[in-house]
Amino acid sequence: MVLDLGKAEDKALLEAMLAKADVFVQNLKPGALAKLGFAVARLRKDYPKLICCSIPVMAKPGLTRGARPMTC
């Protein structure tokens, strides 16, 4: 499923899905989810049973910097 989190209706849809979900997996750039209003700290507070998993396609600065993006 693909959501455009720049659209209010897609944000509302994600909120509804998170309320029923056990696991949330996302692959945005580091920090992008927080900029869209879905910071992990807020998700943990609002959905305490939710397991959050981040698999970014872009590496954070550090040892993996310059590595090729992972694709599925």
Supply the pTM of this predicted model.
0.73
Tell me, what's the pLDDT at 72? 43
Burial class (CB in 10 A: 0-12, 13-18, 19+), 13: middle
pLDDT band at 62 (very low <50, low <70, confident <90, very high): low
Better-scored residue on pLDDT, 61 or 51: 51
Enumerate helices (H) and strands (E) in the chain, giving the number of each. 3, 2
The model's pLDDT over 18-47, given as tens digits with 9 standing for 90+, comes to 999 999 998 888 888 999 999 999 999 999
